A and B are shown apart, each in its own frame.
Chain A
Amino acid sequence: MATSERVTVAQAGNWSERLRRVAAKLASAPSHANALEAYHAGLEAPATVEGFVSLNCGILRNVTVEPWLPELYGALLRCGIHTRFLLGDYAVYERYASAPSDLGTPAPDCFLVCLDAGALAGDARHDPPADMADALLGRITGIVGGLVDRTSANIVVTNLAPDPQPVHSLHGDQDTAGWPHLRRTVNAGLTAVLSAEPRVSILDMDRIVGEFGASRAYDTRMYMIAASPFAVDFLPHLGRAFAAAVAAAVLPPKKCVVVDCDNTLWGGILGEDGPERVAIGTDYPGSAYREFQLFLVGLFRRGFLLAMNSKNNEADVLSFMEDCPEMVLRPADFAARRINWEDKAANLTELARELNIGLDSMIFIDDSPFECELVKSALPEVQVEQFPANPLDIPRYVSAIQGVERLSVGKDDLARTESIRANASRERLRRGAPDLDSFLRSLSIRLTIARQDRTAVRRISELCQRTNQFNLTTKRYGVGDIERLMDEGVVYTMSMKDRFADYGTIGVAIVDTGSGDRWEIDSFMLSCRAFGRRVEVELLQALLEDAGTAGVRSVGACHVATAKNGMTRNFFPDYGFAETEASDGEARFEIQIGAAAGRRPDGICEVRRVESPT
């Protein structure tokens, strides 16, 4: 058959192109058939194909994993890895753990240890003996330990997945001696034991099945017919999780994430919209960009370098990032930056030189399709991840970025130790919080009280629009109103952090400074996020201190009752304000500066005062 022979010869000449083509086809039209086509192309291809990392993967299993192979192959191919698989016989893990060469040649440089919980634990799941968790944990760690000792391969272990069709579920939720609880005990034990070994990674099946949806992940029919546990639609998801673990182990690590600023670190364009109108903070859409910044914080903490590559005026970006209270990342968090009007590919080359790293260890993140394409064509070795235009897509985008799992062992260990320490201290915190005062103290609440913060105008207006419960006068000001009130009087903002989170701007007070010797509190509100921490008193205290400094003799205030703000009726009297007037739903108060006697800040919160430049 001359025709097909000619085809074969032509294909043999260009396997890397053919593998790229089947990978691209699978990516654009994911299906089991297209995964099979890619897999069969891989089986025909030589062991090494230019442009791909070759991998020999041994699989130890106790169920039918054959339908996984095309999907695993496809997911790995997309990471640039061309894989050959060697399958072990069912359930004889110990045989390969004691003699890995029994699996065949060439010796695997990576093992996947698949553990089907049903097949592994058997009927005993329904009446578990007392030592069942210990016995299973001992068996699995023994198998993995054997591979660690006898090979130099990386080892990926899928832990015990939740039951596809749980029986006696409610009882299982309570029963510490039942299988659901024991399964989790085994998984927790595996993490504790195996995380110490740098060549081993665990794929947590609770996470992977949960991400996809437990009700869709299994095919109990195929489990009964063919011992094949998972639904075909779930396999690509499993494949991606496996490929991420393998890629993290075998590909050269990424070291630096280079980000654009406008519509990436924050929403909007700083140079056009101005610092007061770009979106960053705890409310949508700023909250979505804030999540992205927190994602970068996580990378920073795990040893990645951060860098900026932005078309902007450098001074504008730096002062905004320094001054905006809701910014998570500050200029100092970035190891290098190119904020200019140059070509971004040239900037990347310079950043790589400055940081002394290869372009192939960089991930470039930018919302502009133009910039992304420019960098892809000029610097193909840079991994380009185009940032989504819609902020709602940011969480999905962030979870799909490849390459960020990669870590050097030393830094990984460091981060792990730190998180173990953090967990331990959180545990202590939970156990030892006997009364509210100690609890509040243990939170390490830090407040920042700012005056005239024009970067917060939009957030202030939002609080005016939305705050109902702790709102003394409930005046619904727009952005323009707030700007005017800043010109005419003083607008206070208070933001809050504690050891767990950054809550952003949570308090606002607006003062009419009048002729100067008497101030009137026009508005005073606190976001419900900050209730129960006594922080409102700090804002009032700051305001009254300022009044004293400014030579004001008395401060007036007012409570306008609504259906929802009953909790604030006694706020001013509790502090020592005298009630001067009360009529249907409206009460007026007055306090002489220096004569106050009432509720005071109790020193629980750390307060920082900021004066914004006018």
Chain B
Amino acid sequence: MIENTEATLERIFRSVLKVQPDEDMVSVSVESHGWDSVAHLNLILAVEQEFQFMMTPEEASAANSFRTMLDLVNSRR
């Protein structure tokens, strides 16, 4: 089974953040769900590893919601 980008990213977010199984990912951003600086670092590392690219510092700090991270991944693929 091949996951699409959004599903893969959702899986990564669920492994890092405290998102309830029935909760919509669109609501997830840096203000919620235990998204602190450690979670941010782990998210960046896990996303980079999964999608095989490196973010610039500016991209990394701008990726502060599920939506912006998804846009970033799509723009780099």
Contacts and interface: CB of A to CB of B under 8 A. Distances in A.
Interface core residue of B20, B48, B54 (most chain A CB under 10 Å): B48
A341 to B, nearest CB: 46
Contacts of A4: 20-22
B46 A32 contact: yes
Contacts of B54: 221
A7 B20 CA distance: 11
Nearest to A228: B41
A529 B30 CA distance: 65
Q: Interface extent on B, as a size class?
A: 10 to 19
6 contacts: A1-B20, A31-B50, A32-B45, A33-B11, A221-B54, A232-B48
Interface string A223-235: 0111010001100
Given A3-B21, A4-B21, A225-B60, A34 B41 contact: no
Given A32-B42, A225-B60, A228-B41, A233 B15 contact: no
A36 B20 contact: no
Nearest to A36: B15
Interface in A26-42: 31-34, 36-37, 40
Nearest to A66: B38
A224 B56 CA distance: 12
Contacts of A513: none
B20 A33 contact: no
B68 to A, nearest CB: 18
Given A221-B54, A221-B57, A225-B57, A33 B22 contact: no
A222 B60 CA distance: 10
A151 interface: no
Chain A binding surface SS class = helix
Interface in B3-61: 11-12, 15-16, 20-22, 38, 41-42, 45-46, 48-50, 54, 57, 60
Contacts of B22: 1, 3-4
B49 A233 contact: yes
A222 B54 CA distance: 10
Contact of B49 (A32, A221, A226): A32
Interface of A: 1, 3-4, 7, 31-34, 36-37, 40, 64, 66-67, 70, 221-222, 224-226, 228, 232-233
Contacts of A224: 57
Interface core residue of A4, A232, A233 (most chain B CB under 10 Å): A232
A40 B15 contact: yes
Contacts of B46: 31-33, 36, 232
Contacts of A225: 57, 60
Nearest to B38: A66
Given A31-B50, A67-B45, A222-B45, 8 more contacts: A33-B12, A33-B16, A36-B16, A40-B15, A66-B41, A222-B41, A225-B60, A232-B45
A31 B49 CA distance: 8
A44 B50 CA distance: 25
A172 B37 CA distance: 37
B63 to A, nearest CB: 13
Contacts of B16: 33, 36
Nearest to B34: A40
B15 A33 contact: yes
Contacts of A228: 41
A64 B41 contact: yes
A359 B54 CA distance: 48
Contacts of B20: 1, 4
A179 to B, nearest CB: 27
Contacts of A31: 46, 49-50
B39 to A, nearest CB: 9
Given A70-B42, A225-B57, A33 B50 contact: yes
B21 A232 contact: no
Contacts of A222: 41, 45
B20 to A, nearest CB: 6
A7 to B, nearest CB: 8
Contacts of B49: 31-33, 232-233
